[in-house]
Amino acid sequence: MAEKMVEHITSMDEDFAQWYTDTVKKADLIDYSSIKGCMIFRPYGYALWENIRKLLDEKFRKTGHENVYMPMFIPESLLNKEKEHVEGFAPEVAWVTHGGSEPLAERICVRPTSETLFCEHYANIIRSYRDLPKLYNQWCSVVRWEKTTRPFLRNREFLWQEGHTMHETREEAIEETLQMLNIYADFHENELAIPVIRGEKTPSDKFAGAENTYCIEAMMHDGKALQAGTSHFFGDGFAKAFDITYTDRNNTLRHPFQTSWGVSTRMIGGIIMTHGDNNGLVLPPAVAPIQVVIIPVAAHKPGVIESARKLADELSGRFRVKLDDSDQSPGWKYAEYEMKGVPLRIEIGPRDIENGVCVTVSRHDRKKVTADLSDIADTVEKRLEEVRAGLYEKALANREARTYKCRTTDEIRKTLAGGKDGFIKAMWCGSEECEKKVKELCGVGSRCVPFEQEHISDVCVCCSKPAKLQVLWGIAY
């Protein structure tokens, strides 16, 4: 089989951005609509999101969270209640000014995020410590009127989940914030096969209104960083602004402590840019809409289609299976399902049937394994786990190969010279000035202060004053 069967996408080594755009379109994930930044999730792309949603939703429920649905509209006066928050979001909200032909008394925005709506509701329903914690989540779309847009990575409308919780104590709220970050991190590593770095955003990069913002950062194939999920601790700032109080166990009136956390369809961008290759998408088995595609070879020969159907029926109980018995050639089908990133392909032809076997081909490494039909379901399970592990290792190896320790801004510049993007580990004194200066001088921003700190040197990479924090720097999507 020729090395490259799909000729119609740009090579990722030539033009990564164009490769990305080609892939999302040719793999039938999306189509564009007539409004910039508002895209159409086609069945294959939406099925991917539904699989992600289902897995995460189960994890949220297991940790005691309940789903709700808040209105999509926020009155301007409500958005204005928390000062930092409105400053962060007002510049990029879509404003509704008319209902039918009548102007509205007060303009309303389409939610860019729903802290304000949750706070208004919590003020209504929280009275006593018995009402706490409140552990709510919602799956919805939000709108941010961005100038520059890109499918999955930066859309004007995107799908996400946003958890909003209220707690009796500061400690409990911080624990929740970190618990959710860890759920996101584990989901990325175990289900999406994307290694992530857990850390805290520097103050300049916090969510508007938060005391602390925690994040997971992933490295894409091209060495750039993707912020893949965030979890915020709000203290009682919003509770004060929205007058949310509860009577505590000592009968004292107090403000509860708050968190919010979210991941979005951006994760799909992360999957594409972490695992994809020059033949298209490569999907991690846990979320792939089709986990196994069965392709009959020499389908016109007696018994082939029947055997392929039997195999499909047998596997369907345990896996998401597609049998392609259309009249396209096997070669065309191989290319098509490689483009769509199906993790495992099974080829079955007359000679295989005669020998009681079939051929399994894993998408990411094209490894061919002949497998007995007698225990094929167990083999498929093993092969899919190989894919998952293989994807993770490949992504980790890429990240490790592209992570550099630097002691000076000069070193950073030299390391990244010639457009070799990657993660830089370097010390930081904690001043926003130095953060800005590193960006100016080297083109990389602070991604986070990783939980797992490494000691690179005793002084700040920028000002050479004493520094205790190791920061992860990089260029972000």
108 near a second copy, judged by CB under 8 A: yes
List, in sequence order, every residue forming a beta bridge with 280; answer none if it has no partner: 277
Compute CA distances 48 → 85, 112, 206, 473, whole Å: 32, 23, 30, 30
145-184 residues near a second copy, rule: CB under 8 A: 145, 156-157, 159
Which residues, including other chains, have CB under 8 Å from residue 168's CB and lie 6 or more apart? 129, 132, 133, 246, 248, 254, 256, 257
Our CB check for a second copy shows the closer of 70 and 218 to be: 70
Distance CA 368, CA 370 (A): 7
374 near a second copy, judged by CB under 8 A: no
Our CB check for a second copy shows the closer of 70 and 312 to be: 70
Please pick, from the candidates 42, 320, 407, 437, the single residue that binds a second copy as defined by CB under 8 A: 42
Please pick, from the candidates 5, 90, 369, 469, the single residue that binds a second copy as defined by CB under 8 A: 90
70 near a second copy, judged by CB under 8 A: yes
71 near a second copy, judged by CB under 8 A: yes
313 near a second copy, judged by CB under 8 A: no
Residue bearing tokens 């897995």: 55
Our CB check for a second copy shows the closer of 34 and 250 to be: 34
| DSSP code per residue over 421-449 | --EEEEEE-S-HHHHHHHHHHHS-EEEEE
66 near a second copy, judged by CB under 8 A: yes
Distance CA 156, CA 110 (A): 11
316 near a second copy, judged by CB under 8 A: no
Can you give 124-140 as a three-state secondary structure string?
HHCCEHHHCCEEEEEEE
426 near a second copy, judged by CB under 8 A: no
Contact region for a second copy (CB under 8 A) — 72-80, 230-238, 251-259, 313-321? 72-80
Report in angstroms how near the CB of residue 185 gets to a second copy at its nearest. Answer: 26
Please pick, from the candidates 27, 29, 52, 110, the single residue that binds a second copy as defined by CB under 8 A: 110
Is 472 within 8 Å of 424 (Cβ atoms)? yes
Please pick, from the candidates 98, 251, 417, 452, the single residue that binds a second copy as defined by CB under 8 A: 98
Is 58 within 8 Å of 217 (Cβ atoms)? no
40 near a second copy, judged by CB under 8 A: yes
Report in angstroms how near the CB of residue 109 gets to a second copy at its nearest. Answer: 9
Report in angstroms how near the CB of residue 134 gets to a second copy at its nearest. Answer: 10
How many Cα atoms sit within 13 Å of 311 on the Cβ side? 36
Element (H, E) at 114: none
69 near a second copy, judged by CB under 8 A: yes
99 near a second copy, judged by CB under 8 A: yes
Our CB check for a second copy shows the closer of 246 and 473 to be: 246
Residue 190 CB coordination number (10 Å): 14
Which residues, including other chains, have CB under 8 Å from residue 248's CB and lie 6 or more apart? 129, 168, 254
Our CB check for a second copy shows the closer of 125 and 377 to be: 125
141 near a second copy, judged by CB under 8 A: yes
Report in angstroms how near the CB of residue 394 gets to a second copy at its nearest. Answer: 30
95 near a second copy, judged by CB under 8 A: yes
List, in sequence order, every residue forming a beta bridge with 466; answer none if it has no partner: 459
Phi/psi of residue 295, nearest 5 degrees:
-120, 110
Is 231 within 8 Å of 182 (Cβ atoms)? no
Is 345 within 8 Å of 358 (Cβ atoms)? no
Contact region for a second copy (CB under 8 A) — 61-69, 204-212, 394-402, 419-427? 61-69
Residues contributing to the site for a second copy (CB under 8 A): 31, 33-35, 38-43, 46-47, 49-50, 66-73, 75, 78, 90-101, 108, 110, 117, 120-121, 124-125, 136, 140-141, 143, 145, 156-157, 159
